[in-house]
Amino acid sequence: MSQPAIQHVPTNIITGFLGTGKTTAINHLLTHKPEGERWAVLVNEFGQIGIDGGLIEQQDGIEVKELAGGCLCCALGPSLPITLATLLRRFRPDRLLIEPTGLGHPARIIDTLQNEQFRTVLDLRTIICLLDPMVLHQPEVIRQPGFIDQLNLADMVVLNRTDLAGAEEIEEASALSANLFPPKAAIQQVTQGQLDPAWLDLDHLSQRQATYPQAHAAATPAPHLLQPITTPERPMPGKPICKSGNHDGYYSYGWIFTADDAFDWPSVQAYLDGLNEIVRLKAVVKIGHAWVSYNRNANQPASVSESAWRRDSRLEILTRQPQEKAEIEKSLLRFIKHA
C-alpha cells in the first residue's frame, strides 16, 4: 500500500558565520526532540571532507545527511532538491533542520525550500541566526557579504558564546540585531548553543514590531516608543496587511505583502523616491526572482541593495505628519506584476 504524501514538514534553518556554534546548537536541540518524533538534519560544509555531520550525536529517530564540497547556495545548489527529496522520501521526518555552511548565502536555500516542488512539502518555520558578539571586531568577517545576509534573512538572532564576550561587545551585537530590517521576531542571548526548542516555532509575523535604526536618534524616537497595531491574520496575494501607530508626534505606517506578490521595481523605486515629509523609510521588496532593500532618511538619497530576506515584501514609513495610508496602499498595489 502506498504511503500518504509528505506535507508541511516543519523546517528550520540554523545559520551563522564560521565558528558561531551551529553544530553545538543543533546537538542541543536534538536532545530535546519529542519522544516518538523523527528528525532529519541536513548539514552543508564548504570543505571537501565533511566533519560537522560526524559531530552531530546519533540517536534513534534522527537521520543526518551531509553535503560537503561547497555551498548549497551555489556550487551544490543543483544537488539540493535531489538530496532533499531523497531524504524526505526515505526517512519521512517530523521535522527537518538545515545547517548551511558559515560562508554561504542561505537566501538561495530558502528559494529552493519555497519553490513549487517543496512549497506544500515543507513548512519553513523560524530561521535562527547565531551571532558571536566577538566577531564584530574582526573586519575580515564583517566585510563578508554572507555575514550580513545571514542576519538579514533570519527571523531570530541569537547571541551565542556570550560567556566569552565582554559587556561592550554584547551591547554592540544587540544594537546591531535590533536595528536590522525587517525586524526580528526575537533577539536572545545564550551560552554553548543552548537554544530553547520553543524558538523553532515562533510566529514570524505577529510577533514583529516596527523598528527604526538609531543613526539619527535626534529625529527618531526609540523603537519601544512606537506601538504599531498588531494583526493576527496573514497577507494574501494582492491583499497586504497594514499596521499603523503614533506616539509623541511621530506616525508609523507599515505594509506586509505575501511573497507571491512580485513588484515592478523601477515603478516602486520611483514612487518611494517621490514620497515627501518622511523621517524614515525602509522597504524590502520582491522583484521577479530577486529581492532588494530600500533605505532612506528624510531628504537624503536612498540606499538600494540586494536583500537576503525571503519571507515577504514589506515597507515601513515614519513621518511627522499623518498620511493617507489607503492611498499609499492603493499606489503600491498598482506596482504588483501579474502573471
Interval 297-305 mean pLDDT: 85
Mean pLDDT, the chain, whole residue set: 81
Is residue 105 within 8 A of residue 71, CB to CB? The reply is: yes
Interval 79-89 mean pLDDT: 88
State how far the Cα of 21 lies from the Cα of 160, in Å rounded to an integer: 7
Q: Is the pLDDT of residue 218 over 60?
A: no
Which cell numbers hold the place of 167? 559587556
Going from the N-terminus, what domains does the chain have, and what CATH number goes with each?
A: 9-201 (3.40.50.300), 223-334 (3.30.1220.10)
State how far the Cα of 205 lies from the Cα of 256, in Å rounded to an integer: 9
**3-class SS of residue 185:** coil
**In this structure, what is the dihedral angle of CA atoms 294, 300, 301, 302, given to the nearest 10 degrees?**
0
pLDDT tens figures, 98-124: 988 776 677 778 888 888 899 899 999
Q: Does pTM top 0.85 for this prediction?
A: no
pLDDT tens figures, 161-199: 999 999 999 999 999 999 888 889 899 999 999 999 999
pLDDT at 206: 38
Strand (E) or helix (H) holding 22: helix 22-30
- Identity of residue 90: R
Q: Is the dihedral of CA 155, 30, 56, 119 positive or negative?
A: negative
Q: Which of 86, 96, 87, 84 is nearest to 37 (CA)?
A: 96
Residues 6+ apart with CB under 8 A from 95: 9, 10, 11, 12, 33, 37, 39, 40, 200
Q: Which of 207, 210, 261, 254 is nearest to 236 (CA)?
A: 261
pLDDT tens figures, 36-48: 999 999 987 643 3
pLDDT at 203: 57
Interval 200-224 mean pLDDT: 44
State how far the Cα of 314 lies from the Cα of 319, in Å rounded to an integer: 17
pLDDT at 23: 85
pLDDT at 288: 86
**3-class SS of residue 15:** strand
